[in-house]
Amino acid sequence: MKYFEKHFVKFFKELEKNNHKEWFHENKKRYELNVKTPFANFVGDLILAIHKEDDSLQVEAKDCILRINRDIRFAKDKTPYNLHRTAFISPTGRKDKTIPGFFVRLSPKIVGIMGGCFSVEKDQLKNIRNAISQDPKAFRKLIEADSFISKFDGIKGELMKRIPKDLQAAVDAEPLVANKQFYFVTELDPKLMLEDNLIETLMEYWHVMRPVNEYLRQAMEG
């Protein structure tokens, strides 16, 4: 099924040149017709596709879609709107981004996909490190699987500036223990979002990331 037309891309290209409230309000009907509604329909159907594989997912599109408005309180860039639409699909949706989920971003420049843990709390991070330390080979096996390597460019994340003595041996055995985050990303051609097989293609990535997400989710719980 095709969800987006070229009007979706055109809106964001024009918004990039006119990123202010006056222009947005003048073009709000265009936004609702060409961006907001089709994106909500797309996210809803993507959730249904995931639910068929994982019936524990009990969220709606509105629970997962992030606002187009930017948080500019502490930003140097004061433009008010994002130049993309984003959804974070997980058991808790956008309310709790610590939970590993399926992050999808659509823009004129990319179809972006992310999984794993980007926002991790202190206790969750400790539990993940403990799990990896206890059996480094188990985590390494997941992230070195051919299917994972073919879709994602490894585990990313900010590193500890100093390694505490009690973690040094664990870091020596598995360097990823030094990570503060455990996420993975890929960027696809934006032409994909104009094609009929958008959800089918995204589900291929969901299936590949699922074992890593589930490992991290279980590890976080301790």
Write the CATH number for 169. Answer: 3.30.930
CB distance 216 to 182 below 8 Å: yes
Tally of structural domains, the chain = 1
pLDDT at 162 (0 to 100): 93
> Which string of b and e fits 71-110 if b means at least 16 CB within 10 Å?
eeeeeeeeeebbbbbbbbbbeebbeebbbbbbbbbbbbbb
121 pLDDT above the threshold of 90: yes
Report the percent of the chain where pLDDT is more than 90. Answer: 96
75 pLDDT above the threshold of 90: no
- Whether residue 165 lies inside any domain: the answer is yes
pLDDT band at 182 (very low <50, low <70, confident <90, very high): very high
- Whether residue 111 lies inside any domain: the answer is yes
> Model-level pTM?
0.95
| Mean pLDDT, range 83-102, rounded to an integer | 96
pLDDT at 61 (0 to 100): 98
Please provide the size of the chain in residues: 222
- Whether residue 55 lies inside any domain: the answer is yes
- Whether residue 70 lies inside any domain: the answer is yes
Name 105's bridge partners: 86, 112
pLDDT at 177 (0 to 100): 97
37 pLDDT above the threshold of 90: yes
Rounded distance, CA 107 to CA 9, Å? 7
Helix or strand or coil: residue 104?
A: strand
Provide the residue range defining the domain that includes 201.
6-221
Report the percent of the chain where pLDDT is more than 70. Answer: 100
Q: Which of 192, 185, 189, 178 is nearest to 208 (CA)?
A: 185
- Whether residue 1 lies inside any domain: the answer is no
